[in-house]
Structure 1
Amino acid sequence: MISEAQLQDELSIIIANAIREDVGEGDHSSLACIPKEAQGKAKLLVKDNGVIAGVQFAKMILNYVDPLLETETFIHDGQQVKEGDVVFYVTGSSQSILKAERFLLNSMQRMSAIATKTRYFQDLLAGTHTKILDTRKTTPGIRALEKWAVKIGGGENHRFALYDMIMLKDNHIDFAGGITKAIEKTQQYLSEIHKDLKIIVEARDLAEVEEILQSGGVHRILLDNFSFEDTKTAVAMIGDQCQTESSGNINEETIRKYAECGVDYISSGALTHSVYNMDLSLKAM
C-alpha cells in the first residue's frame, strides 16, 4: 500500500489540478459583483440520506483556496446523515468561499456516495469475517479520493496502483506461459530488483488453485467468477496457506453467500464505478 506521505502528495496534486481546471485565471462571476473585502458565511447542507465523506478533504480545499477561511464542524467523516443535516459552517472571504464551492461539493458528493455504498455492502457481511475491498476501477485522476471514501465507509483498500503490489491476472498468466511460469518469473524479478511486494494470483478454476498452491510464495489467491460450491472447495483446499479473495459479478444479492463460503475478502468495482452522488449544497447564510 502507499505511504501516508504518498497519499498526501496525491491529494495535493488533485486539489491543485482541480482548482486550475475550475478557476483558471479567475472566478469572474464573483470578481464582477462581490467586493474583495466582503465577508460571508455558508453551510454545507445535506439533501439526502447516507454516510458523509470528504469533510476533512473539504477543509484541505478551503485551506488551499484561502488559509484564512474558518470552519465549524458538526458532523464528521463516516457518520450517518439525513436530509436537512448541516455538516459544517465556513466563514471568511465571500469570493474564496465561492471559488472553492463547486470542487468542494463535487468531491464530497462522490466520496459520500462511495462511503454509503461501501457501508451498505459491509453491513451485508455482518457476522462473517469477510472484508469488502475496492479495486482499481476508479475515476482517472481522483483515485486517492475514492479509495479514501471506501475506508471512511468501513471497507478496505486493495492495491492503490500497479506499483505497490503484484497481481497476476489471466492475461499476465497467459502471456507468461502459465501460472507456474508467471509466479516463478515474478519471484525472480522481485529478487533481482530487491523489492518485497505481495503477490496475488488469479485462479479461474480449482485446477489453477492447486497449481498456485504448489508454486508457493503467494500472499492471496483471487477466486474469479467461481460458483458458491467451487468457492467453498477452494477455501478448504487453501486453508491457512494464504489469503482468499472472491471477485467477479458479485452484487448485493450474492455477496453474503460468497462470504459464507469462508473467503477473507470480496472485491467489488461497483463501490467506485457504480454510484450516484449524494445530494449536497453549500448555502450562503
Structure 2
Amino acid sequence: MLTAATIESALRFALDEDAPWGDITGDTFVPGAASARAVLNAREAGVFSGGEVFARAFTLIDSGVQVELAAAEGDTFSPGDTLAMVSGSAQAVLRAERIALNFCQRMSGIATQTRAFVDAAASNTAGRSVRIADTRKTTPGLRAFEKHAVGCGGGHNHRFGLSDAVMVKDNHLAVLAGQNADVAASIRSARARLSHTTTIEVEVDRLEQIQAVLDGGADIIMLDNFSLADLRAGVELIAGQAVIEASGNVSLDTVADIAATGVDVISSGALTHSVRAVDLGLDIGLGLDTDLKPDLDLEFALDPEPDIDLGSALDPDSGPNLESN
C-alpha cells in the first residue's frame, strides 16, 4: 500500500542522492528570488500514475511551491495534454524536477503497460472476468509505488511480499522432494498452523502435479509455463476446486490466448520488471497563460515551513540536509 510516509521516505532518499550538498547549478546560476511556472506535458499517450508523488517532490524542497494536478490516477492522456502545473521558487522547481519526473514517468509507464495487458485479455474472454496481476519482480525499494501503478492501469496486486500469503514454488517443492515429503500432507500441515484468513497457493509446472495439490486443499494453483493446450486441460481438471492462475511466457502477444483458456488470473513480471517509462516533460516558460486551470482542482496540503535548506550548496562542511530546519 502506498502511504504518505512511504512516499516521503523514498523521495527524501532520492532527493538526497541527487543533490546531497545542494544543487550547485541552480544555487549559483538562478537568482534566489526568481519564481517559475512549469507545466507537466505528455509527449506520448499513456495512463497517468504518480501524481501525489510528483507533487510531494516539490513541496519537500520548498513548502511554498504550488502543485495542481490536471489528471487523476488511472486517467488516459494523449500527446500534448497538460497533466499538472507547478509554480513557486525557481530553485526549488529545478531541484525537484528530475526526481518528480523519474517517479511519475516510471509509474505512468507501468500503468500504461498494465492497461494494455488488461485490454488485450478482455478482448478474448467473451465477457468472462480474468484478472491481470503483478509479481514480486519489482525495483528494490519501490515495490509500493510500482504495485500502486499496476492498480492505476486496471491490474491487480499479487501478494505484496513473503509475509502476505503462502506461495509454494518449484524450489520449495524441490526441498520437499529431497525430504521425501508428501505434497498433499505438507499443504494440510501448513493449513493447520496458519490463520484461517491466510491463503495457500502452489505452483505446478506439469499436469501430473495438480491432483496432489488439489488433495491438499490449496486455495490457488499456479500453472507455470504451461502450453495453451495444457492450460485448458488444467482448467478442466481443477474444475472450480481452486482459483487458477497462469504465469510464465505471458506477453502482450500471448495474454489474449491465455485468457481464453479459462484461467482466473494471469500474472506477469513484465508489468514491472522491464517496463518503459512514459515520455513526460516539465516545461518552464515565460508568458504562460496564468488563467489556465486544471480539469481537477487538486492541491496538496503544504507544510508551513520549507523542509530542505537550499542554501547549503556552497558550504562544503554542510553535508546532506534533508531534515526540517
**TM value normalised by structure 2:** 0.80
Per-residue CA deviations over 1:244-268 (Å, capped at 9, x if unaligned) read: 1000112222211211111110001
Report the AA paired with residue 156 of structure 1. Answer: H
Contact 1:180 1:211 in 2 (8 A): yes
Give the 3 Å change call, closer, same or farther, for CA 67–181 of structure 1 in structure 2: farther
Matched, 1:65 2:69: no
Contact 2:166 2:201 in 1 (8 A): yes
Structure richer in helix, relative to its length: 1
Higher alpha-carbon Rg = 2
Report the AA paired with residue 197 of structure 1. Answer: T
Shift of 1:195: 8.0
Shift of 1:163: 1.4
- Partner SS for 2:241: coil
Contact 1:180 1:212 in 2 (8 A): yes
Shift of 1:131: 0.9
2:23 to 27, 39, 42: 27
Per-residue CA deviations over 1:40-70 (Å, capped at 9, x if unaligned) read: 1111111111212211221222232222211
1:47 to 3, 24, 43: 43
Give the 3 Å change call, closer, same or farther, for CA 24–181 of structure 1 in structure 2: farther
* Cα distance in structure 2, aligned partners of 1:132 and 1:180: 28
- Partner SS for 1:103: helix
Residue equivalent to 1:117: 113
Residue equivalent to 2:191: 187
Contact 2:186 2:216 in 1 (8 A): no
Residue equivalent to 2:77: 81
Range 228-237 or range 203-212, more displaced = 228-237
* Cα distance in structure 2, aligned partners of 1:143 and 1:77: 17
Q: Higher relative CO (CA 8 A, sep ≥ 6), structure 1 or 2?
A: 2
Matched, 1:128 2:132: no
- Partner SS for 1:273: coil
Residue equivalent to 2:7: 11
Shift of 1:280: 1.1
* Cα distance in structure 2, aligned partners of 1:163 and 1:23: 35
* Cα distance in structure 2, aligned partners of 1:121 and 1:204: 23
Shift of 1:283: 1.1
Report the AA paired with residue 28 of structure 1. Answer: I
Residue equivalent to 2:32: 36
* Cα distance in structure 2, aligned partners of 1:240 and 1:9: 41
Report the AA paired with residue 204 of structure 1. Answer: D
* Cα distance in structure 1, aligned partners of 2:55 and 2:160: 24
How many pairs were matched up? 277
- Partner SS for 1:226: coil
- Partner SS for 1:108: helix
* Cα distance in structure 1, aligned partners of 2:19 and 2:190: 45
Report the AA paired with residue 154 of structure 1. Answer: G
**TM value normalised by structure 1:** 0.91
Report the AA paired with residue 184 of structure 2. Answer: T
Residue equivalent to 2:314: none
Residue equivalent to 1:272: 272
- Partner SS for 2:272: helix
Which ranges of structure 1 fall in alignment gaps of 5 or more residues? none
Matched, 1:231 2:239: no
- Partner SS for 1:125: helix
- Percentage identity across aligned positions? 39
Range 120-129 or range 149-158, more displaced = 120-129
Residue equivalent to 2:207: 206
1:106 to 102, 116, 122: 102
